[in-house]
Structure 1
Amino acid sequence: MTVTVGMIGAGRIGQLHVDNLKLIPQIRVKSVSDVVIDHLKEWAESKGIETLTTDYRDLLNDPEINAIFICSPTTTHASIIKEAAAAGKHIFCEKPVSFSVEETEAALKEVEKAGVKLQVGFNRRFDPNFRKVRSVVQNGDIGQPHIIRITSRDPQPPGVDYIKSSGGLFMDMMIHDFDMARYIMDSEVVEVSAAGTVLIDEAIGQAGDIDTAIVTLKFANGALGVIDNSRQAVYGYDQRLEVFGNKGAAQADNNRPTSVEVSTADHVTKEKPLYFFLERYTQAYIDEVIEFAKACSENKEVSCSGFDGLQAERIARAAKESFEKGMPVKLYSDASSVLQ
């Protein structure tokens, strides 16, 4: 079955998804919508895009299109999800679904009512390294997981204009790590403690955000988690993960251009981590759209659902509350209410 796709939002991530979708034989990318399209005409023609429009509803009203990618600003996600669901389109939405847990819950209700598929773009779930760690944990190779440690540090901070509209470090950046923690540990987070500060750029603090943070997690299964984030790692894009259990540990290290290590009398050196997230997660971005295409064409469950997106948002909101109040925040009032 051919899946005909409409792309809403043709910025950096939207164009990346178009490139990756073109690699899949059962996908036809028919239409792209963006608020400004003049600069996209040559690009769209080179990609074989049939329709370029400023009105995303043109895509929703097209009976040939059966799947929509939402890559527009986060503030538009929830409303477009509702409209796409009502139009009977399957939906791939970039993270987060919204900045409001309540808005996300309302959007997910419409998806459930319409009976369409919704996959959230937590691409790191599809990284081969992290998937291997999850497999090791699920197979019981390291026994009962006790601690998960996640390090995620960007090579350079984004511009202040982006910071002002991003939703903050916990919702924009660490939300990937909240999802990864749930994914690897296969358990819900029940309590969050957050600490953060501004150490890199005072302009980030003036914009109302932080650039350096540590969060500790308590899981329903009794395990603990530690996440550290920084907006600037001068040596590259730092993405590492470790799970420690009663029978051993599993680690995923940074990806590098090569695995060559040079040892001499003076020093031992190896190449720095890949610098940019598009390089680091190239295969993950491809694999996530392949799995979405299969879910649509073969009527399978998506690998990262709207519920997964909602849970990550709940943790992000709790982290922000913990940071602001200087105290742990519980996500559930009692153990019996925890969803497993």
Structure 2
Amino acid sequence: MTENGRLDVALFGAGRIGTIHAGNLARHPHARLRYVVDVHAPAAEALAQKHGARTASVEQALSDPAIAAVVIGSSTDTHAELIQRAAAAGKAIFCEKPVDLALDRARACARAVKQAGVVCMIGFQRRFDPTFAALKQRLEAGEIGKPEVLVITSRDPAPPPAAYIASSGGVFKDMLIHDFDIFRWILGGEAVSVHATGGCPGLPEVAAAGDLSHTAVTLRTRDGALCQINTSRRAAYGYDQRFEVLGSNGLLQAGNVRPTEVVAWSDQAISSDKPEAFFLERYRAAYALEIEHFFDALVNGTPVRTTIEDGIKALELAELATRSWREGKALECAV
């Protein structure tokens, strides 16, 4: 910890999400961004200069005893190695989802974290979204009784490039992993069965890349609660992120976030802003709140709410959904 009570942090990744995390770290009263690490030197240099940090190699950042924590926002294929190396160096870890695309490597990361005894938080930022979190609080307060059905809608505004899709691990691991985490968080239980299907209506380029553009997944918990997740890699009207919970005594809905809440009424129509453009805008507050929570854990010993075990559980569901789609049948979960 620095003389002014801040913890020195190394940030891995200077892309879109790294830039968001860098800004939140720079604004946090208990953090000091010391290093930015990225294979693309100009991006690392620009981000470091913006926030009064320095660039460094992985080795330099992890070997510096002043570094108390690392924030991993680099590409998915780097997560597992960085988690294990950071754990071995005794650094607290915040890592974007997923832990890895392969379950065996993700589980190896969990073992490394446990052996090192370091704090490790996985970036499932949707749990920190103010609207989603408010729904969860009201659900836990018993407002609608026992939850029976969860319906999640998750749609991107446009598909990513084919090169990204080909290396993403597939839509269930790349896109729906957040929705699988929401399922576990909101219903508070584990799935006993998963049935996934999908297609590429109107998006042959996604099919050519070996993936799905649209999916429908049904999960069932041990006590019979159901979850239906519908996703699309294309929504002409913007980034569509909402869900609803039907309970024994009512319904709770969490809707989209819009740039403004102004609604225009005329003799022709009633109109409002479209949903936010994409995830960086939609979850702006959530990204700041999850970093705040991470440092609360480091400074005050608060248990992290999104653990590496949560990352593995979501990855297990993504793996099972992928198999279900390929095999064309519902699959039972090992619980």
1:335 maps to none
1:73 maps to 75
Q: Deviations over 1:69-120 (max 9, x none)?
A: 1112212211211111111000001100001111111110110011001100
Q: Determine the C-alpha separation between the residues in 2 that align with 1:218 and 1:139.
A: 23
SS at structure 1 position matched to 2:252: strand
Q: Is the 8 A contact 1:200 1:231 kept in 2?
A: no
2:86 maps to 84
Q: Structure 2 vs 1, CA of residues 42 and 224 (structure 1 numbering), >3 Å: closer, same or farther?
A: closer
Q: Is the 8 A contact 1:314 1:331 kept in 2?
A: no
Q: Determine the C-alpha separation between the residues in 2 that align with 1:20 and 1:39.
A: 17
1:298 maps to 300
- The number of aligned residues is 331
Q: Is the 8 A contact 1:160 1:207 kept in 2?
A: yes
Alignment of 1:312-323 (within 5 A): 312-323=314-325
Q: Determine the C-alpha separation between the residues in 2 that align with 1:64 and 1:280.
A: 34
Q: Deviations over 1:142-194 (max 9, x none)?
A: 00100000000001111111101111110000111000111111111121100
SS at structure 2 position matched to 1:66: strand
1:114 maps to which of 109, 113, 116: 116
SS at structure 1 position matched to 2:186: helix
1:202 maps to which of 201, 204, 220: 204
Q: Determine the C-alpha separation between the residues in 2 that align with 1:114 and 1:80.
A: 14
What displacement does 1:42 show? 3.5
What displacement does 1:284 show? 0.2
1:134 alignment partner AA: K
Alignment of 1:1-340 (within 5 A): 1-49=5-53, 51-53=54-56, 55-332=57-334, 338=335
What displacement does 1:252 show? 0.7
Q: Determine the C-alpha separation between the residues in 1 that align with 2:325 and 2:106.
A: 22
Q: Determine the C-alpha separation between the residues in 1 that align with 2:236 and 2:46.
A: 36
Q: Deviations over 1:41-82 (max 9, x none)?
A: 243212100x202x2121110100010111122122112111
1:294 alignment partner AA: D
1:166 alignment partner AA: S
Q: Determine the C-alpha separation between the residues in 1 that align with 2:106 and 2:317.
A: 14
SS at structure 1 position matched to 2:275: coil
> Scaled by the length of structure 1, what TM-score is found?
0.95
Q: Determine the C-alpha separation between the residues in 2 that align with 1:254 and 1:245.
A: 21
1:308 alignment partner AA: D
What displacement does 1:121 show? 0.6
2:222 alignment partner AA: A
Superposed CA RMSD in Å reads: 1.1
Q: Is the 8 A contact 1:119 1:302 kept in 2?
A: yes
SS at structure 1 position matched to 2:159: coil
Q: Determine the C-alpha separation between the residues in 2 that align with 1:212 and 1:288.
A: 29
SS at structure 1 position matched to 2:223: coil
Q: Determine the C-alpha separation between the residues in 1 that align with 2:48 and 2:270.
A: 47
Q: Determine the C-alpha separation between the residues in 2 that align with 1:307 and 1:41.
A: 34
What displacement does 1:36 show? 2.0
Q: Determine the C-alpha separation between the residues in 2 that align with 1:192 and 1:169.
A: 15
Identity %: 42
Q: Determine the C-alpha separation between the residues in 2 that align with 1:253 and 1:293.
A: 29
What displacement does 1:258 show? 2.1
Runs of 5+ consecutive residues of structure 1 not aligned to the other structure: 333-337
What displacement does 1:260 show? 2.6
1:29 alignment partner AA: L
> Scaled by the length of structure 2, what TM-score is found?
0.96
SS at structure 1 position matched to 2:296: helix
Q: Determine the C-alpha separation between the residues in 2 that align with 1:45 and 1:273.
A: 33
Runs of 4+ in structure 1 displaced over 6 angstroms?
Answer: none
SS at structure 2 position matched to 1:68: strand
Q: Deviations over 1:246-304 (max 9, x none)?
A: 00010011111222322322222222111121111110000000100111111221110
Q: Structure 2 vs 1, CA of residues 312 and 264 (structure 1 numbering), >3 Å: closer, same or farther?
A: same
Range that drifts further, 71-80 or 231-240: 71-80
Q: Is the 8 A contact 1:137 1:185 kept in 2?
A: no
SS at structure 2 position matched to 1:226: strand
